Amino acid sequence: MWYYTNEEDVMNYYIITGASKGLGEKLVDKLLAEGHKVIGVSRSGHSSHKKDENYTELKMDLSIECEAKTLIERAALHIEVENAKGIYLINNAGGLDPIGPVGSLDPDAIMKSLTLNIAAPMILSNAFVKIFNHVDCRRRIVTLSSGAGKRPISGWNAYCVGKAGVDMMTRSIGLEQGKDGIGAISFGPGIMDTDMQAQIRSQEASSFKDVEMFRGFKTDGALRQPENVADLLLKVLHDDNIEPGLVTDVKEVES
Nearest to 57 by CA among 110, 20, 5, 103: 20
Question: Would you state the pLDDT for residue 3?
Answer: 41
Assigned domain for 131 exists = yes
Q: What is the CATH number of the domain that holds 134?
A: 3.40.50.720
Assigned domain for 56 exists = yes
pLDDT in tens, 220-236: 887 799 999 999 999 99
Assigned domain for 255 exists = no
**Domain count of the fold of the chain:** 1
Assigned domain for 213 exists = no
Mind giving me the DSSP string for 210-236?
THHHHHHHHHTT-PBPHHHHHHHHHHH
Question: Would you state the pLDDT for residue 47?
Answer: 60
Assigned domain for 254 exists = no
**How many whole angstroms from its chain centre is CA 229?**
12
Structural domain range at position 148:
7-190+227-247
**Can you give the pTM of this predicted structure?**
0.91
Mean pLDDT, residues 87-98: 96
Assigned domain for 57 exists = yes
Question: Would you state the pLDDT for residue 1?
Answer: 38
Mean pLDDT, residues 125-138: 97
Assigned domain for 186 exists = yes
13 assigned to active site: no
Exactly one of 14, 55, 88, 159 is catalytic; name it: 159
pLDDT at 92 over 90: yes
